[in-house]
Amino acid sequence: MNIATMSLADLGGALLGFSLTIFVLSYVIGDNFLFRLATHIFVGTAAGYATIVTLYNIVIPHLVFPLLDGNQGALILAVSYLIPSVLLLMKLSSRLSKLGNPAVAILVGVGAAAAIGGATFGTIFPQTTASIHVFENGLINGLIILIGTLSTLLFFQFYTRSDEAQTESVGAFTRILRWSGKAFIAITFGALFAGVYIAAITALIERFMYLWIFIKGLIFPV
């Protein structure tokens, strides 16, 4: 980073990035004004960006343009979008909030249906298909996948916190599979945590490198 040859806009952006990085890293010494300022700037910027994207990608092309276009089919579709949107805004008023319940119900219903459909066709069915064809990639890998799938399902099926009678009623083989499922779940959560931790460490190293390059460019401009 050659500070001496940077334009004013690039220098301002570099100084802003340097300052915000320092503000966020100041959380190491505890919650303080600088860290809160950085989080507020981040939340405000993210909210503003989301608003602009929503306006230009959803509201204007799917609501404003159809209303001004004059096409009857597009107009009817735009009005069908406009009515729930107006009803949803009624939730801002305590007296008129009940009018927004149908729009909220539509949003929740569509969201739930999308989540269930995604979980069914994106996770359950592919996992079931993979479990059926587990031995196509080798005997050992197939056994691991099959045992992991069955034991995890058994863990969620039979696990209770204090039901000793149920624990005694199941067989030894079922108990072994259940605790194997617990081990598979623990390994999965550990791998996920390790991935998140590695990503965070990578981002932290990148920020330290940015600070070092910026400070080096200030002290030793080339």
User: pTM higher than 0.85 for the full model?
Assistant: no
Percent of the chain with pLDDT over 70: 87
Ranked by mean pLDDT, which of 13-27, 87-101, 106-120, 132-146 comes out on top? 106-120
Q: What is the mean pLDDT of residues 145-151?
A: 80
The domain locations on the chain are 133-222
Percent of the chain with pLDDT over 90: 17
d(CA 127, CA 117) in angstroms, rounded, equals 14
The amino acid that residue 176 corresponds to is I
Catalogue the long-range contacts made by 204-212 (C-beta closer than 8 Å, 24 or more residues apart). Answer: 207/21, 207/25, 210/17, 210/18, 210/21, 211/18, 211/21, 211/22
